[in-house]
Structure 1
């Protein structure tokens, strides 16, 4: 079982940073891909963060494991490997490592996850970290106090997400995106989960986007379909969330 430092040592070479070209401590957003792996939409969100004066870190969970997109589609997307609680270990390890960078303001960090990545964030927010959990020997050795926002893009809250109704233990401001035509969950189920999170004290805004799962990913694989207009709106709302929670130093 990895420690936080060991897991981060594996993830760090597969993490890409985008941000202003300076060494000032800046707010940071950590971006976690869906079960299909790194795709073309995440750099767009990273660029929005950069324009807001934030640093953005795109964390690849598959590179350190030697997994191809095809392998992940056949195993992770089907629930055979790396379920949400396992992915939460990557999220905590990345938070642990990135918080220690001198060019990051560890008191102003946002976590953003798409589908499977959102599932992992929800597990990280709700898990009992007082003991070994989430595939880590020391999950409680990273503080969540600096996490001031989460962005959940059509997070997986289907039947395999056994802990989806477990109350969060840390409650940052959250923007939760629901895809109206999501084939993995109904709007009613997603709203029920998000209402539970809101009842825990989280300031949570829900946006029901009139599209399919992965509507902001530039590809079409029915029943998922790219929608440029909704993608632009998602980018705008993502940027607005960052502006709402922290004022970054001028570039």
Structure 2
């Protein structure tokens, strides 16, 4: 168990920050990668956010813990370590303390998650943050989580497998956003997405669904999984959609 401040102190040295041109303060979008960590596609999204006038802060949960790529691939991507409920503590710490970064506007924050990162964001919304404890997220002071500046969520093919909280529990608070749903996602079909998003909408959240003819992780080049295929055209469309979504907040 750690406090939010201690978790932020662990994450801060490995943050990747891109600021827009000109003087701040800037709205902040927090990017939470999938279990592959920060790869080429995340830099493209971050650059698009900066061009849209947002400070892009990529939160690297794995290097912050001293874990190698092979270790993460073997134990995190397979669900043995740092499941979404545990990584939710990283999200809680980041949204609470991102406003302390130079040039950041703490009153306008967005969260964006890809696969495992989307899972972590969604799990935060199922947690009773106004109660002491916080064992699930590993946070000893969850009641100090500050979500007041969060204006929306961008969820790109969030992992919503059977072990995710949103498959079984309603969200406890509202968070509007955009969900990118690949129609050929081998991780989840429409039935599973519908189930998770129904639990999310129980909180009053307005979540726009954007289906795209692609596979899971279609925007990440270099993957060798037989059921994941990089689609450069779909990637360009999605990055533009991400930037346009930020501009609309």
TM-score with structure 2 setting the length: 0.94
Shift of 1:233: 1.1
Shift of 1:56: 0.4
Alignment of 1:195-206 (within 5 A): 195-206=198-209
Give the match for residue 186 of structure 1. 189
Shift of 1:118: 0.3
Shift of 1:164: 2.8
The unaligned stretches of length 5 or more in structure 1 are 246-251
The farther-off stretch of 58-67 and 95-104 is 95-104
Give the match for residue 132 of structure 1. 133
Number of corresponding residues: 245
| Distance (Å, rounded) in 1 between the aligned partners of 2:20 and 2:166 | 37
Give the match for residue 48 of structure 1. 48
Shift of 1:223: 1.1
Q: 1:63-91, CA deviations, whole angstroms, 9 ceiling, x for partnerless residues?
A: 12111111111100111000001110011
The unaligned stretches of length 5 or more in structure 2 are none
Q: Secondary structure at the match of 2:133?
A: coil
Shift of 1:163: 4.1
The farther-off stretch of 25-34 and 180-189 is 180-189
Shift of 1:102: 4.7
Shift of 1:23: 4.9
Give the match for residue 233 of structure 1. 237
User: Considering only aligned residues, what root-mean-square deviation do their CA atoms show, in Å?
Assistant: 1.4
Alignment of 1:95-114 (within 5 A): 95-114=95-114
Shift of 1:170: 2.8
User: Does the 8 Å contact 1:179/1:187 carry over to 2?
Assistant: no
| Distance (Å, rounded) in 1 between the aligned partners of 2:75 and 2:174 | 31
| Distance (Å, rounded) in 1 between the aligned partners of 2:92 and 2:29 | 13
| Distance (Å, rounded) in 1 between the aligned partners of 2:168 and 2:49 | 30
Q: 1:197-239, CA deviations, whole angstroms, 9 ceiling, x for partnerless residues?
A: 2342112100111111100111232211100111011111111
| Distance (Å, rounded) in 2 between the aligned partners of 1:51 and 1:163 | 33
Q: Secondary structure at the match of 2:39?
A: coil
Q: Secondary structure at the match of 1:224?
A: coil
Q: Secondary structure at the match of 1:131?
A: coil
User: Does the 8 Å contact 1:8/1:97 carry over to 2?
Assistant: yes
| Distance (Å, rounded) in 1 between the aligned partners of 2:175 and 2:196 | 16
